[in-house]
Structure 1
Amino acid sequence: MKIVFLIRSLNQGGAERQLVTLAKALKKENFNVTILCFYSGGILAKDLENTEVKLISLEKQHRWDVLSFLWRLYREIKGLNPDILHGYLDSGNLLATFLKPALPTTRIFWGVRASNVDLTRYSWLSRVLYRLECFCSRLPDLIIVNSHAGQAYHLAHGFPADKMVVIPNGIDTEKFKPNPNARTKIRSEWGIPANTILIGLVGRLDPMKDYPTFLKAAALLCQVRQDVVFVCIGGGLENYAREMHQLANQLEISEKVIWAGARADVPDVYNALDIAVSSSSYGEGFPNVIGEAMATGVPCVVTDVGDSAWIVGETGIVVPPKNPEALVKGWLVCLEIDKIQIREQARLRIVNNFSIQKLVAQTKAVLWLKV
């Protein structure tokens, strides 16, 4: 079976990482897999090197490079003539649908990765694209959603129930696993003593991740414990990053916060943590960072957004969003739990419920059913 994924870019991000993981796994199952990217480059493109997944860049130059871009897209898709054209995220979904008339024998799939999106925080183009996505949602042959929360949100916005199926993300439990040497290496790099508690937030610098709640909770915890340090791992919006640095200064915790930026060695970074945090206030579907941290054996304290509570189950702490006081209480409770037991339980939950093998098995079943 020939499947083509259509996505804007392969820059660092949960949806992009999941696509790369799925594409490589499907290729091993003898699918003919191609990824079409609007833009060239992207840090995750390196993960496809030395694989048989074909990566094609459409070399889009900028937002308003439209006509030549559409011609290149049409030419590539006609040449590939896939059995399935699988959009990923809003722009990929919409373009896949618009190509349907030129691909009469190709099935069109959408990939939906978010829930409860606060569109007021995004550009006018994002708002237009989402409204258009809602309007066109009856046109694809199948809509794959990676979370139950995302399914409920999109159903409420007019998406057809009979075309939606939930397939949770899959976590590479061989890549994300406990590694004491990595823990020592990263903590040494950051100057973190062995007996210091390291609490980390892995996520791009974006309002959705609600860094202010994380930083305010950090300031509150520093009032009752001195043996804690916090790390923020991820790149993102420069203006937002500047605001967060200023907030840390205002809260007088700058010396307690490490701004690590985007990292390529994320599995090693997880190993350095004592607690992983997801403080998001909206928009999450299936947050990869929670599953990855748990697979590494790191207990998680998460806000009740998207499917976060379902992912951690009984192995982590769930708190309401936008509530620094609740987040601090969650950290304190987590620190009192038996560390060895909770680490083992967290990893086992991912291995048993959210493995790549499960992702591939569910995806294959849907692909063969619809072709």
Structure 2
Amino acid sequence: MNKIAFIIRDLNFGGAQRQLVTLAKGLDKQGFDVNILYFYPGGPLEKDLKDSNISVICLEKRGRWHLFSFFWHLVQHLKQIRPNVLHGYLAESNLLSILLKPFLPATKIIWGIRESNGNIQFNDWLGNLIFKLESFLSHFPDLIIVNSYAGQTYYLTQGFPTDKMIVISNGIDTERFKPDQEVGAKVRAEWGISKNTILIGLVGRINPIKDHPTFLKTAALLAEERTDVRFVCVGVGSETYARELYELAEKLNIFEKVIWTGGRADMPAVHNALNIAVSSSGYTEGFSNVIGEAMACGVPCVVTDVGDSAWIVGDTGIVVPPRNPEALKNAMKKLIENLGANNFNRAHIRQRIVEQFSVQQLVIKTEAAFLSLFCDSISKSQKSM
């Protein structure tokens, strides 16, 4: 049996983390021996893996500078697992996988990249250093899997090797994310949203790259023209930054029209509560899971032209330039008009995800990438005999 070990920083709510859980469960069903090792305890997504055969190991990292005993602990676990493939998820784990290679000489190393650019301006000094190291060491892994074509294009400009990079788009669990008016109605009731109110939502961590300020400015513009709209922001992040956003909403006179929910575990219900989903990201969006999840629930989307967002929505939604509240407002108005005229087809929106971005396709393509590494290794071994 082929053994796969994934390394990731945490199992908190986040696009990369959710995607890893989805992929791991799919590979488990295909008969792979799947192991997930993560740095920090308390990840709520761990419970999503309880009904599988996946081994989930928390390394109990105690902070940024807890390094040597943490690393040795990780080495001991991996020596016991003896994986055929060690797959890093995100930059820290990618770099760590290179340091682990001397302890696992027979193991193939795969990097996982989930962004469309390095996002230097939002990093601290350590984040910038990690990005530069990742670029410098990018020739050492056996394979680099990028989840977006935008990401592939950008990282190639940073010196990443062309012959080692492939694109495998994220997979959306269409059995979990599907139209369900009943669960959506319950969430709307919880938030005090009437049936006739148009609810427009932004799902994403509270982080500058998601550009909540543009969403809030757009909400203010739309609220000046319509009284039947409410807005919701779903996600967690820095409390300091969140307070800045609350203050901005108050300054824009829309504080009472915006709901801040924090993190939610019931994301299919959240998406089904929305009339329109928005991605207002200004930078570094690779493949946006939340766009695919909303579409799988039949929800029309307005997205900024960042990363692969335009490719995901195709002809089912509207694409606007980033950081442009007026364009975003006009797109929202157009979708609202279509809602009233019933000019969109929820089944068509969902079908694009089913056909193009299913979990099955994600698993098949990832499995093929793993097997190609194994076959290449066998071929080289035979040639050397």
TM beyond 0.5: yes
Q: 1:57 to 1:347 in 2, by over 3 A?
A: same
Alignment match, 1:80: 81
Q: Pick one of 363, 368, 373 that aligns with 1:365.
A: 368
1:340 offset after TM fit, Å?
Answer: 6.7
The whole-number CA distance in structure 2 between the counterparts of 1:126 and 1:106 is: 27
Q: 1:367 to 1:339 in 2, by over 3 A?
A: farther
The whole-number CA distance in structure 1 between the counterparts of 2:74 and 2:188 is: 45
1:295 offset after TM fit, Å?
Answer: 0.1
Alignment match, 2:11: 10
Q: Does 1:345 align with 2:339?
A: no
- Contact 2:118 2:131 survives alignment (8 Å): no
- Contact 1:117 1:282 survives alignment (8 Å): no
Q: What is the alpha-carbon root mean square deviation over aligned residues?
A: 0.9
User: Which has the larger displacement, 333-342 or 263-272?
Assistant: 333-342
- Contact 2:90 2:114 survives alignment (8 Å): yes
SS in 1 for 2:368: helix
The whole-number CA distance in structure 2 between the counterparts of 1:340 and 1:23 is: 38
SS in 2 for 1:21: helix
1:141 offset after TM fit, Å?
Answer: 0.2
What pairs with 1:61-210 in structure 2 (closer than 5 Å)?
61-210=62-211
**Partner letter of residue 123 of structure 2?**
Y
**Partner letter of residue 246 of structure 2?**
H
Alignment match, 1:38: 39
1:355 offset after TM fit, Å?
Answer: 0.4
Alignment match, 1:356: 359
Alignment match, 2:293: 292
1:191 offset after TM fit, Å?
Answer: 0.8
The whole-number CA distance in structure 2 between the counterparts of 1:221 and 1:275 is: 13
SS in 1 for 2:322: coil
1:118 offset after TM fit, Å?
Answer: 2.5
Alignment match, 1:269: 270
**Partner letter of residue 318 of structure 2?**
I
The whole-number CA distance in structure 1 between the counterparts of 2:241 and 2:349 is: 32
- Contact 1:211 1:244 survives alignment (8 Å): yes
The whole-number CA distance in structure 1 between the counterparts of 2:20 and 2:83 is: 17
**Partner letter of residue 288 of structure 2?**
P
The whole-number CA distance in structure 2 between the counterparts of 1:86 and 1:137 is: 14
The whole-number CA distance in structure 2 between the counterparts of 1:340 and 1:232 is: 26
The whole-number CA distance in structure 1 between the counterparts of 2:109 and 2:298 is: 38
The whole-number CA distance in structure 2 between the counterparts of 1:71 and 1:2 is: 21
The whole-number CA distance in structure 2 between the counterparts of 1:116 and 1:221 is: 31
Q: 1:102 to 1:352 in 2, by over 3 A?
A: same
What pairs with 1:238-257 in structure 2 (closer than 5 Å)?
238-257=239-258
Q: Which runs of 5+ in 1 are unaligned?
A: none
Q: 1:10 to 1:339 in 2, by over 3 A?
A: farther
Q: 1:248 to 1:24 in 2, by over 3 A?
A: same
Alignment match, 1:60: 61
The whole-number CA distance in structure 2 between the counterparts of 1:336 and 1:168 is: 32
The whole-number CA distance in structure 1 between the counterparts of 2:335 and 2:157 is: 35
- Contact 1:198 1:228 survives alignment (8 Å): yes
Give the TM-score normalised by structure 2: 0.95
1:228 offset after TM fit, Å?
Answer: 0.2
**Partner letter of residue 364 of structure 2?**
A
The whole-number CA distance in structure 2 between the counterparts of 1:144 and 1:76 is: 24
The whole-number CA distance in structure 1 between the counterparts of 2:351 and 2:329 is: 26
- Contact 2:12 2:44 survives alignment (8 Å): yes
1:77 offset after TM fit, Å?
Answer: 1.0
Alignment match, 2:316: 315
1:341 offset after TM fit, Å?
Answer: 3.4
- Contact 2:281 2:322 survives alignment (8 Å): yes
Q: Which runs of 5+ in 2 are unaligned?
A: 375-385
1:336 offset after TM fit, Å?
Answer: 2.2
- Contact 2:299 2:349 survives alignment (8 Å): yes
Give the TM-score normalised by structure 1: 0.99
Deviations 1:59-117 (A, max 9, x none): 11111111100110111111111000000000111111111122111100000000123
1:339 offset after TM fit, Å?
Answer: 4.0
